[in-house]
Amino acid sequence: MPEPPIDSWADPVAAADAAATSLLRVIAEGTSVPKALAGLRRRTNEPLVLALSDAADSDDAAAAVRRYRDGLRDWSWLTRLAVDHASAPSFGAVSLGSTTRSFLRAVADVTAAVPEVFTHSRAIARGLGYLGLPIALRDPSSAAVLLVPAQARHGHRVWTTMQAAEAVRRARDGETEVVVLCHPAATLSSKTRIAYRPDPMIIDIKTGSGVFS
């Protein structure tokens, strides 16, 4: 039985990793490479996949795709963020996505303290329960640190959900620090910025204000 498709919304990194692995097979077989790249470029709402197609446009496509996939699998950036903010007494969670879960898991691993997680959603509370952190049904923007998962970044702008953007707006009225969780590979180039077409529920917000770390 074939593997079920990876949910590119819940785990865009895994979706891009699977696309890179599939592309490497196509390159190794030497068949339909242009067709495969065209298919990737049609996934205009997935910045990590657009970055993959950009990387594969190389004289040595296989080596470029392997480097790209290695970068996808490198989560040291998230560990550094977790270490930098591990002393926070509370975190606000607006998502059950892979970056939010990985960040909170890294915090739990690097601190002896037990930070509280604030979320507005019972579903998110249930989904994060396995981490063993205390979870309160409270406004995430009232936490010491608000976690904002971003689909893409370009300059001082990030693309995130309307719900997360609203939480950022409320955080600007208080003392909450906003931490953007965006994989480095999702930083848009000038080429992928033109191609990127976010889903209707995704909006861009400016990160230049003082609440952002």
What is the SS3 string spanning the chain? CCCCCCCCCCCHHHHHHHHHHHHHHHHHHCCCHHHHHHHHHCCCCCHHHHHHHHHHCCCCHHHHHHHHHHHHCCCHHHHHHHHHHCCCCEEEECCCCHHHHHHHHHHHHHCCCCCEEEECCHHHHHHCHHHCCCEEECCHHHCCEEEEECCEEECCEEEEEHHHHHHHHHHCCCCCEEEEECCHHHECCHHHHHHCCCCCCEEEEECCCCCEC
Are residues 118 and 157 part of one domain? Answer: yes
Are residues 156 and 59 part of one domain? Answer: no
Domain assignment present for 5 = no
Are residues 188 and 149 part of one domain? Answer: yes
- Last residue of a domain, which of 20, 41, 72? 72
Domain assignment present for 130 = yes
- Last residue of a domain, which of 72, 91, 108? 72
Are residues 164 and 82 part of one domain? Answer: yes
What tens-digit pLDDT sequence spans the chain (213 residues)? 333 444 556 689 999 999 999 999 999 998 788 999 999 999 999 999 999 999 998 889 999 999 999 999 999 999 999 999 999 999 999 998 889 999 999 999 988 888 999 999 999 999 999 988 999 999 999 999 999 999 999 999 999 999 999 999 998 777 899 999 999 999 999 999 999 999 999 999 988 665 676
Q: Structure tokens of 17? A: 């990793």
Are residues 195 and 101 part of one domain? Answer: yes
Radius of gyration of the chain from Cα atoms?
18
Q: How far apart are the first and last CA of the chain?
A: 45
Domain assignment present for 145 = yes
Domain assignment present for 212 = no
Are residues 142 and 88 part of one domain? Answer: yes
Are residues 191 and 141 part of one domain? Answer: yes
Overall number of domains in the chain = 2
Are residues 95 and 107 part of one domain? Answer: yes
In this prediction the pTM is: 0.89
Which structural domain, as residue segments, surrounds residue 200?
A: 76-206
